[in-house]
């Protein structure tokens, strides 16, 4: 009975052992699967985290390159790289979603949302950068993109923490499962050798798995610590934390990975490497390192041997060895820094990948700082000459004024404008023009004290701040010095140029107590110098202000006069000897809301100086043709219309085309258009003038010489000129009635000469009956002047052209004959 009971017991025990074994094995299998999941989540997650950070950093870096140029052709490749890095960020996020780790979903969504928000703002910045609106781009970048990025980085940190938590929970679960499996298997160990053997194996596997798990947990913790540090460093880089602070954080990484290790970092400053920080090194060694010559490495030569040799020797003196070093390069391959790690003798170097990561972070931090400094420099300096720009100059003037107030001294602002610089640009090209500006900048700096400031505030406009002056005479000395320096011949390649400049000077406190006022007054004084022929320095006087202010206001208003439809044409009738209407002269008038009616004598020369005369002249031509065509279409017998054309407009390359287009667009007969030009047209380039005239005459356009007798009239040329009419200048007509004045003889001669050449003669400025009688007696064909008709707007001309028309001003021209076209 005993045996069967024992057998039953053994059988029962074996059965329980078998069940325990089966259950324990199943638990163990589950543990292995969970372990594999944990490993997969852990390693993939870790790779993705690293990749994510790298791509975020890459997108920032490539984007900052795009900001460093203004040419969209250069910006676009960088922007492509930025977008590609962003696409990889999204790819990493998709991969994170695919991991069997539901606990991270919330954090993943949060990061995704934050990153998408940042990308949206960054795309706006990209558009602004490409549009060329760098100022707004920088504003949006600072106000919106940077905060959005900070939020995204914070979300990334949370996500990483969530991944870590997930790994810890998973690890605890695996450990629990393994323990349960061990218990099941332990219960059965005594029942059968086979099961014991199996259990022994299971136990060994469990031990190995636990050991491996512990080791990987430790490595994971270290890697996570490193990642957190990297994120913190990257955040410091992206928020432009001070460079030494960032580099100190990077150098500190070395000490974390190797016992008693220390590190030192150098960064480029100009052409040399400059020591920045050292971490975990004794004071004496740090002092020795910082005292190494600043110019020990020329960044362009990239020869680091000497520096490395010095460091090796130094390390030896402190029982250390150089445990790894890296040259730091920017994206373009330029040497921008150096990293050196020190370890105790026999302590072993730093792991290669840690050193690589440190070098990468340090290079990013230095490059970012250099870029930031460059942008800051560009914001305050002129890109061509590297001189301070207007903003920085105003700032310096403000500082100088504060000092001058305190020390009761004078300060001067000089406004220098090159004379006829436009001609250099037009004739020799912008490259030579740019070289001239650079040379002018260099010369100005050379001839002034180091404490003075030279700035470029516009195309060819420079400003100078000279302070600590005792009297106005000191400022004038500076002005003369500047003129002398600039008038020295300038040899630029094959070109030998002789430049002159106009300079305006304003003084503190005499002419203003604010930078803006001083600059404006210096500018006005410069204008005055320029208007009087240039190549002089002029001190501001309040009277100058009024005259020049009027001119500046005219200039400002004139720019938009056409746009605001402020110009209009008046027409002054020309009357022939029979009293008939023989033509109309179109005269431009300008009525401005602020300035009132501005005389053409005042605004036309300014328009010529501003280069607006072409535009205004073209408008006059088109409007006259259009008005003439409207009169004809209305069935009025309009006479020919004369239009004054300036020499600059006439000699313009496309004057013929513009005139032809004005005629064609308005369907105005060419033979009804008379172009009035002055003799100066023929003085500069006779051949071109004749060519233009011939082309238009072939179309039927007629020509008159205006203000005849006042220029350098060449009588021998007159017979060769293809003109139909000459207009005697009003100055001769004015003196006609003065006996013995000589005008009478001259006019008689001009009339005879013109008639002998079959030219029509028009006398301008007829203001009295006596003048009219004399001119008729001399045989003058046509007269024009206030005595006959004042210039009148188009509707009044229409009344004149219809039967029952208005009488002339003098009421003395009887029987005005039907209109002659």
Partner 1 sequence: MRSAILATMLLIGLARAAGPPSFAVVVHQSNPRVDLRLAEVRAYFGGSTTRWPNGSNVVAVERSSGSPAFRCLLERVLNMTASEYKRNLTRIEYSGGGRVNVKTLNTEGAACKFVFNVPGAIALIETASLSLAECNGVQIVRVNGKLPGEEGYPLR
Nearest distance from C-beta of residue 135 to partner 1, angstroms: 13
When binding is defined by CB under 8 A, the residue of 43, 69, 100, 131 that contacts partner 1 is 131
Element (H, E) at 585: strand 581-592
- Centre a 10 Å sphere on the Cβ of residue 483 and count the other Cβ atoms it contains: 18
When binding is defined by CB under 8 A, the residue of 3, 73, 98, 739 that contacts partner 1 is 73
Q: Between 74 and 769, name the residue whose CB sits nearer to partner 1.
A: 74
Q: Between 80 and 386, name the residue whose CB sits nearer to partner 1.
A: 80
SS3 45: helix
DSSP 759-819: -EEEE----SHHHHHHHHHHT-SEE-STTT---EEHHHHHHHHSSSPPPPTTS---SPPPP
Site for partner 1 in 637-666 (CB under 8 A): 653-654
> What's the CA gap between 766 and 1, in Å, rounded?
160
Q: Between 123 and 713, name the residue whose CB sits nearer to partner 1.
A: 123
Give the tokens for residue 47: 């790779």
When binding is defined by CB under 8 A, the residue of 12, 76, 193, 568 that contacts partner 1 is 76
Q: Between 273 and 604, name the residue whose CB sits nearer to partner 1.
A: 604
SS3 594: coil
Site for partner 1 in 514-573 (CB under 8 A): 559-564
* Residue 429 DSSP symbol: -
The structure tokens 């490409």 sit at 130
> What's the CA gap between 561 and 16, in Å, rounded?
107
Stretch that binds partner 1, among 122-130, 205-213, 239-247, 256-264 (CB under 8 A): 122-130
Stretch that binds partner 1, among 91-99, 111-119, 123-131, 781-789 (CB under 8 A): 123-131
Nearest distance from C-beta of residue 619 to partner 1, angstroms: 10
Nearest distance from C-beta of residue 121 to partner 1, angstroms: 14
The torsion region of residue 499 among left (phi > 0), alpha (psi -120 to 50) and beta comes to beta
481 close to 505: Cβ distance less than 8 angstroms: no
555 close to 606: Cβ distance less than 8 angstroms: yes
The structure tokens 């302590």 sit at 347
SS3 536: coil
Q: Between 199 and 616, name the residue whose CB sits nearer to partner 1.
A: 616
When binding is defined by CB under 8 A, the residue of 9, 127, 183, 221 that contacts partner 1 is 127
**Closest Cα partner for 393 from 444, 318, 436?**
444
72 binds partner 1 (CB under 8 A): yes
Pairing mode, if any, of strands 537-539 and 501-508? parallel
475 close to 507: Cβ distance less than 8 angstroms: yes
Stretch that binds partner 1, among 442-450, 494-502, 508-516, 604-612 (CB under 8 A): 604-612
Stretch that binds partner 1, among 7-15, 124-132, 261-269, 490-498 (CB under 8 A): 124-132
**Closest Cα partner for 148 from 175, 118, 123, 179?**
118
434 binds partner 1 (CB under 8 A): no
130 binds partner 1 (CB under 8 A): yes
Q: Between 435 and 557, name the residue whose CB sits nearer to partner 1.
A: 557
When binding is defined by CB under 8 A, the residue of 615, 636, 648, 686 that contacts partner 1 is 615
Nearest distance from C-beta of residue 567 to partner 1, angstroms: 11
Q: Between 161 and 562, name the residue whose CB sits nearer to partner 1.
A: 562
598 binds partner 1 (CB under 8 A): no
When binding is defined by CB under 8 A, the residue of 358, 454, 518, 612 that contacts partner 1 is 612
CA atoms within 13 A on the CB side of 669: 11
81 close to 58: Cβ distance less than 8 angstroms: yes
- CA-angle at 51, arms to 49 and 56, nearest 5°: 95
Site for partner 1 in 317-376 (CB under 8 A): none
The structure tokens 């259009």 sit at 626
Kindly write out the interface string for residues 78-107 of this chain, putting x where it contacts partner 1 by CB under 8 A and - elsewhere. Answer: -xx---------------------------
Stretch that binds partner 1, among 74-82, 177-185, 472-480, 530-538 (CB under 8 A): 74-82
- How many residues at the interface with partner 1, by CB under 8 A? 23
Nearest distance from C-beta of residue 555 to partner 1, angstroms: 11
**Closest Cα partner for 469 from 507, 443, 503?**
507
Q: Between 135 and 559, name the residue whose CB sits nearer to partner 1.
A: 559
Site for partner 1 in 402-431 (CB under 8 A): none
Residues 614, 620, 624, 625, CA torsion sign: positive
Nearest distance from C-beta of residue 330 to partner 1, angstroms: 25
| Residue ranges binding partner 1 (CB under 8 A) | 72-73, 76, 79-80, 123, 126-127, 130-132, 559-564, 610-612, 615, 653-654
């Amino acid at each position: 009975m005993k045996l069967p009971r024992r057998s039953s017991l053994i059988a029962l025990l074996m059965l329980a052992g078998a069940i325990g074994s089966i259950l324990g094995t199943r638990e163990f299998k589950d543990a292995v699967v969970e372990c594999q999941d944990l490993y997969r989540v852990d390693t993939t997650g870790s790779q993705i985290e690293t990749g994510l950070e790298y791509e975020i950093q890459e997108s920032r870096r490539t984007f900052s390159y795009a900001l460093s140029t203004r040419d969209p052709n250069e910006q676009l490749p960088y922007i492509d790289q930025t977008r590609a890095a962003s696409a990889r960020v999204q790819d990493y996020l998709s991969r994170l979603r695919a991991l069997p780790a539901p606990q991270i979903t919330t954090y993943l969504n949060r990061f995704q949302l934050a990153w998408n928000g940042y990308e949206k703002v960054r795309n706006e910045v990209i558009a602004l950068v490409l549009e060329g609106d760098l100022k707004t781009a920088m504003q949006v970048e600072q106000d919106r993109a940077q905060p959005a990025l900070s939020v995204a980085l914070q979300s990334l940190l949370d996500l990483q923490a969530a991944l870590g938590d997930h790994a810890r929970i998973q690890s605890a679960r695996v450990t629990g499962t393994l323990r349960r499996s061990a218990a099941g298997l332990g219960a059965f160990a005594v029942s059968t050798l086979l099961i014991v053997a199996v259990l022994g194996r299971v136990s060994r596997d469990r031990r190995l798995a636990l050991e491996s798990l512990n080791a990987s947990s430790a490595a994971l913790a270290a890697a996570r610590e490193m990642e957190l540090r990297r994120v913190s460093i990257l955040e410091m880089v992206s928020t432009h934390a001070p460079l030494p602070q960032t580099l100190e954080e990077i150098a500190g990484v070395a000490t974390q990975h190797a016992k008693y290790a220390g590190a030192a970092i150098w960064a480029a400053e100009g052409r040399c490497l400059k020591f920045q920080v050292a971490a975990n090194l004794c004071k004496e060694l740090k002092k020795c390192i910082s005292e190494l010559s600043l110019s020990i490495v020329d960044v362009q030569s990239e020869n680091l041997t000497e520096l490395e040799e010095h460091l090796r020797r130094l390390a030896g003196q402190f029982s250390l060895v150089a445990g790894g070093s890296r040259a730091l390069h920017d994206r373009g391959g330029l040497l921008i820094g150096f990293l050196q790690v020190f370890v105790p003798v026999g302590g072993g170097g730093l792991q290669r990948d840690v050193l690589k990561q440190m070098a990468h972070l340090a290079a990013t931090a230095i490059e970012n700082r250099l870029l930031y400094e460059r942008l800051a420099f560009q914001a305050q300096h002129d890109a061509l000459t590297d001189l301070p720009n207007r903003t920085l100059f105003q700032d310096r003037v403000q500082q100088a004024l504060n000092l001058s107030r305190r020390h009761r001294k004078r300060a001067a602002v000089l406004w220098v404008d090159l004379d006829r610089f436009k001609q250099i640009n037009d004739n020799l090209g912008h490259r030579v023009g740019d070289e001239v500006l650079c040379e002018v900048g260099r010369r100005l700096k050379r001839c002034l004290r180091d404490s003075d400031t030279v700035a470029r505030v516009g195309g060819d406009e420079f400003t100078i701040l000279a302070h600590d002056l005792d009297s106005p005479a000191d400022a004038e000395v500076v002005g003369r010095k500047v003129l002398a320096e600039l008038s020295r011949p300038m040899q630029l390649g094959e070109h030998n140029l002789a430049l002159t400049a106009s300079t305006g000077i304003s003084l503190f406190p005499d002419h203003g107590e604010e930078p803006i006022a001083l600059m404006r007054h210096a500018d006005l004084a410069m204008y005055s110098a320029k208007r009087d022929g240039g190549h002089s320095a002029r001190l501001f006087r309040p009277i100058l202000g009024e005259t020049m202010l009027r001119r500046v206001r005219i200039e400002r208003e004139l720019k938009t006069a056409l746009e605001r439809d402020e110009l209009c044409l008046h027409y002054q009738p020309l009357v022939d000897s029979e009293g008939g209407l023989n033509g109309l002269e179109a005269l431009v008038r300008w009525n401005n809301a602020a300035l009132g009616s501005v005389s053409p004598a005042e605004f036309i020369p300014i328009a010529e100086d501003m280069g607006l005369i072409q535009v205004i002249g073209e408008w006059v031509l088109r409007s006259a043709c259009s008005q003439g065509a409207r009169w004809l279409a209305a069935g009025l017998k309009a006479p020919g219309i004369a239009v004054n054309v300036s020499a600059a407009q006439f000699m313009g390359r496309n004057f013929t085309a513009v005139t032809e287009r004005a005629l064609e667009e308005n369907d105005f007969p060419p033979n009804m258009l008379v172009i009035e030009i002055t003799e100066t047209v023929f003085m500069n380039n006779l051949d071109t003038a004749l060519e233009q005239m011939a082309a238009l005459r072939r179309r039927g356009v007629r020509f008159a010489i205006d203000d005849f007798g006042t220029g350098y009239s060449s009588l021998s040329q007159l017979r060769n000129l293809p003109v139909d009419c000459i207009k005697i200048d009003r100055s001769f007509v004015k003196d006609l009635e003065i006996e013995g004045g000589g005008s009478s003889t001259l006019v008689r001669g001009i009339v005879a000469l013109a008639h002998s050449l079959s030219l029509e003669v028009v006398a301008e400025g007829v203001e009295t009956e006596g003048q009219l009688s004399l001119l008729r007696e001399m045989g003058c064909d046509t007269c024009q002047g206030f005595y006959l008709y004042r210039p009148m707007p188009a509707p009044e001309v229409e009344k004149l052209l219809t039967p029952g028309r208005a009488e002339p001003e003098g009421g003395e021209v009887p029987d005005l004959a039907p209109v002659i076209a």
